[in-house]
Amino acid sequence: MLTYPQIDPVIFRFGPFAIRWYGLMYLLGFLAGYVLIRHLSRLRHLPLNKTEAADLLFYCVLGVVVGGRLGYVLFYDLGYFLTRPLQALAIWQGGMSFHGGLAGVVVAVSLFCWRKKLSWFLTADVLVTAATVGIGLGRLGNFINGELWGRVTEAPWGMVFPGAGPLPRHPSQLYEALLEGALLFAILYLLHRRAAAPGIPFFSFLLLYGVFRFAVEFFREPDAHIGTLGHLLTMGQVLSLPMILVGVAGLAWIHAGRRRP
């Protein structure tokens, strides 16, 4: 069994204000996203200047926040928010859905591309690749916060998380950071380096993130107020299935289009 590092979630305090690791991870993710958007737009000849890249990132941040919160309300705790609708606005209390955030980003990107007359697929290819860094950092933030821990395990790398009981658990946050962050970034970046056709990185992201998330959910503790659906799948797995299907269908569609004479 490994020892959980017990990192203080608060980096430092300044009077009533506190700088937290989780917030820092988000900030670093957005900064890295901007740098990667600029780099990949040059690599893929997407016409974005510095101002437009910053505007695109701003659109995406809004999509993540609005879509992520709305997705959490609809998918994870709708009954609670129907009785307390104003609590849906209290995003500072936590509660965001990745799948809802993804839907929000798709809407935001569509609006941005329509305004700027840019290729939707090429823009989406750049964005999903840049997003993987933020996804990985966000999972590291979850690990430091000691939240979203894994299921009980006898594996030698199991950890006892504060507030999760006395039994060792899978550090599933680190599994997700490695798979959905580092590995997924490496694969998508390689596709860009090989000048993959527009749309291939985007649909590959949907497919691979869906597969990685679906697999890790078997090691992650289900949400206490939801559990498993039908005693089989978690909500995260149910929401990942459409991503996998759309990813496969999209890649097949692009492949079929390239084979036409």
Residues 126 and 114 in one domain: no
pLDDT of residue 93: 60
* Across 65-90, average pLDDT: 77
Q: Are 127 and 109 in contact (CB under 8 A)?
A: yes
Distance in angstroms between the alpha carbons of the first and the last residue of the chain: 58
Same domain, 61 and 31: no
Residues 183 and 65 in one domain: no
Q: Is residue 103 part of a domain?
A: yes
- 144 and 225 housed in the same domain: yes
Proportion of the chain in helix, strand, coil states, percent, rounded to 5: 65, 5, 30
**56 pLDDT above the threshold of 80:** yes
Q: Which residues pair with 229 in a beta bridge?
A: 233
* Domain edge (last residue) among 97, 118, 139: 118
Q: Is the pLDDT of residue 35 over 70?
A: yes
Say if residue 71's pLDDT is above 90: no
Same structural domain, 111 and 124: no
Calculate the average pLDDT of the chain.
88
* Cα–Cα distance, 119 to 110 (Å, whole number): 10
Q: Is the pLDDT of residue 84 over 90?
A: no
Environment class of 160 (CB within 10 Å of its CB; exposed 0-12, middle 13-18, buried 19+): middle
Phi/psi at 167 (5° precision): -90, 145
Taking the C-alpha atoms of residue 76 and residue 236, their distance in angstroms, rounded to an integer, is 10
Domain final residue, candidates 118, 146, 180: 118
pLDDT higher at 256 or 52: 52
* Inside any domain, residue 198: yes
- Tell me how far CA of residue 230 lies from CA of 97, 204, 220, 236, 238, in angstroms: 21, 29, 17, 14, 11
- 42 domain-assigned: no
Whether residue 243 sits in one domain with residue 160: yes
Within 10 A of 152 (CB to CB), how many other CB atoms are there? 13
Give the Cα separation of 38 and 36 in Å (integer): 5
> Are 140 and 219 in the same domain?
yes
| Residues 107 and 131 placed together within one structural domain of the fold | no
Q: Whole domain around residue 109: which residue ranges?
A: 47-118
| Same domain, residue pair 232 and 220 | yes
In this prediction, residue 253 carries a pLDDT of 94
The pLDDT-based confidence of 19 (bands split at 50, 70, 90) is confident
Q: Does 41 reside within a domain?
A: no
The verdict on residue 164 lying in a domain is yes
pLDDT score recorded for residue 259: 64
Whether this prediction's pTM lies above 0.75 is answered by: yes
Whether 114 and 124 map to the same domain: the answer is: no
Residues 9 and 125 in one domain: yes
For 127-158, what is each residue's pLDDT tens digit?
999 999 999 999 999 999 888 899 999 999 99
pLDDT at residue number 132: 95
All residues at 6 or more sequence positions from 169 whose CB lies less than 8 Å from its CB, including other chains = 149, 150, 151, 152, 153, 158, 159, 160, 161, 221
Q: Point out the least confidently predicted range of 18-22, 23-27, 211-215.
A: 18-22
On whether both 14 and 143 belong to a single domain, the answer is yes
Q: How far apart are alpha carbons 252 and 7 in whole angstroms?
A: 45
Domain end: 95, 118, 141, which one? 118
| pLDDT exceeds cutoff 60 at 261 | no
Residue 40 within a domain = no
Domain count, the chain: 2
